[in-house]
Amino acid sequence: MKKIHLLLLKSFIRPFLVTFLIVMFVLLMLFLWKYIDDLIGKGFEWYIIVELMVYASATNVQMALPLSVLLSSIMTYGSLGENYELVAIKSAGISLNRAMYPMFVVVLVLSISAFIFSDYMLPVANLKYFSLLYDAREQKSANFLPEGVFSNSFPGYTIRVMHKDPDGQTLYDITIYHKDLSTNESYLLFAKKGKMFRSSDDQYLVMQLQDGIKYQEDPGGPTYSPNPRQKLTRFRFKSTENKLDMSGFKLHRTNESEFKTAFQMMNIKQLRDTMGHINHLIDSGRRVNYTLVTPYIKYFFMPAKHAKSNYIKYKQGVLKTANNTDRLSYITNAQSEVRSVQDLIKTRDERYKDASGSVHSASVEYQKKYTLSAACLALFLIGAPLGAIIRKGGLGLPVVVSVIFFLIYYIISTIGEKAVKAGDASPFIGMWIAIIILTPIGLFLSYKAATDSVIFDAEMYKRFFNNLFGSIKRVVVKEIKD
């Protein structure tokens, strides 16, 4: 029995690792495709890109792990069925459910590990990933001086280069306008040719300019004079050098504490505390709303029964018994008070909607901590018997079938998540609906696989439809003869 368990474990672990790496690679390529415009051409060091890709890979585990379990389980049992190894196992008196036992234990360990990962490691990975991605997207482009465009990449400078050599360093027809806000000095420079390169410490962009003219304007008299005379100076030069500060092109890291309030960066305890705090604020707001609206509520007491005229007046209604002037006054006062109550409640209603939306979003992330583990088990219950039924290994038919079931799981989960965030479904139902639907399907497939069902046998369906159409044809022919 131990040899069979080892055979099944070896048959499962290798496809699982391969499919997991393949899925992670595909998801990583999707990440690069999505953010390629925000990363290319900004002069990042290689380790910044690698660090961002590592964090992105960690955030993709919650999608890659269930798909890998589904695909590898189909491949494993499909390969065993294709090579008639399942037949040999069953002929030895070992049922399919008993043969699935070692793999179920492995998937259970994976599910527990996925829960620990989603609660402890995933919030940290999300924090690192989103903070670094935000800084990378906010980073200025390293294409300092594009051709034919006035560039404001350097603070205080407006620079235009009409043409560049293919090396990207030799410049032609250069225009530089600079204004120093601290001294109120400015100059305009024209040069026919130049060359740019970084300084040895990578702190400055050095521009060596040739054959140009510079117009500089600065105050000529004392600054306290009511009308200080300005001085215009013109310089002609054969060669000059400008240093432009490149500190704005360095990657400035934002304090990660500014991102910790996002629900994706919280563990279960933090999410539970946050939801409790927000619910407390909602309850407090409801009590405050009652005290604010109470002064606008008018109470009318019925007069004594012996005052028959007043009794009839209140019974018939104030507007019916009042004259036109009093009736207009009553309606005007009522409309004024209604507008006051609406203005009072409007802002508090917006706060309530924001708080309710925060609770719904937090509950989604809270339930995701558990659904990742449950999804691995549910998809394994589908993949293992499905592989035993279709009896095909490799990356052909198993990939198609696994992608179909995973798309069903993903679409249902997305619909449920949106319903929870919109407040149209409870957090438990919305986040667990996909697993609730797929688990009975997995149990049904397990039963069919254990009873050697031919549910996916094309010949069975061909015979069924041939018999059906043959019966219909015979009935039609008989009706025509009659």
| Half-sphere exposure in the Cβ direction for 439 (13 Å, CA) | 10
Q: Where do runs of H (alpha helix) occur along 117-250?
A: 122-138
> Cβ distance 129 to 56 under 8 Å?
yes
Nearest CA to 161 out of 116, 118, 196, 203 is that of 196
Nearest CA to 244 out of 150, 149, 158 is that of 158
Query: What is the CA 251 to chain-centroid distance, rounded?
Result: 24
In a domain, 211, yes or no: yes
pTM exceeds 0.75, yes or no: no
pLDDT value of position 255: 76
Strand partners, 207: 196, 242
In a domain, 202, yes or no: yes
* Segment holding 401, helix H or strand E: helix 397-421
In a domain, 233, yes or no: yes
Gap between the Cα atoms of 345 and 340, Å rounded: 9
In a domain, 331, yes or no: no
pLDDT value of position 297: 65
In a domain, 219, yes or no: yes
In a domain, 53, yes or no: no
Gap between the Cα atoms of 76 and 392, Å rounded: 9
Print pLDDT tens along the chain (482 aa). Answer: 577 777 777 778 888 888 889 888 988 888 888 887 777 766 667 778 888 888 888 888 888 888 888 888 888 877 777 776 666 766 666 766 676 777 788 888 888 998 998 888 888 888 888 888 887 776 665 566 778 888 877 877 888 888 888 777 788 888 888 887 777 778 888 988 888 887 777 677 888 888 888 888 776 655 555 556 667 788 888 888 888 877 666 666 777 777 888 888 888 888 888 888 888 888 887 777 777 777 766 654 445 554 544 544 445 556 666 677 777 777 787 788 778 777 777 877 888 888 888 888 888 889 888 988 898 888 888 888 887 777 766 666 777 777 888 888 889 988 988 888 888 888 888 889 999 998 888 888 877 777 766 555 556 656 666 777 777 767 766 666 66
Two structure tokens written together for 199: 């300084």
Structural domain containing residue 191 = 150-249
Nearest CA to 364 out of 414, 415, 417, 409 is that of 417
Gap between the Cα atoms of 348 and 345, Å rounded: 5
Block residue for tokens 């690679």? 25
pLDDT value of position 16: 86
Two structure tokens written together for 145: 């001086």
Two structure tokens written together for 282: 């909602």
Cα 214 to Cα 157, 190, 209, 233: the distances in Å are 14, 6, 11, 8
pLDDT value of position 403: 81
pLDDT value of position 302: 47
Quote the number of domains for the chain. Answer: 1
Gap between the Cα atoms of 383 and 381, Å rounded: 6
DSSP helix/strand/coil, 146: coil
| Half-sphere exposure in the Cβ direction for 75 (13 Å, CA) | 24
Distance between terminal CA atoms of the chain?
Answer: 66
Gap between the Cα atoms of 199 and 329, Å rounded: 81
In a domain, 189, yes or no: yes
In a domain, 436, yes or no: no
* Segment holding 355, helix H or strand E: helix 324-390
Nearest CA to 195 out of 171, 224, 173 is that of 171
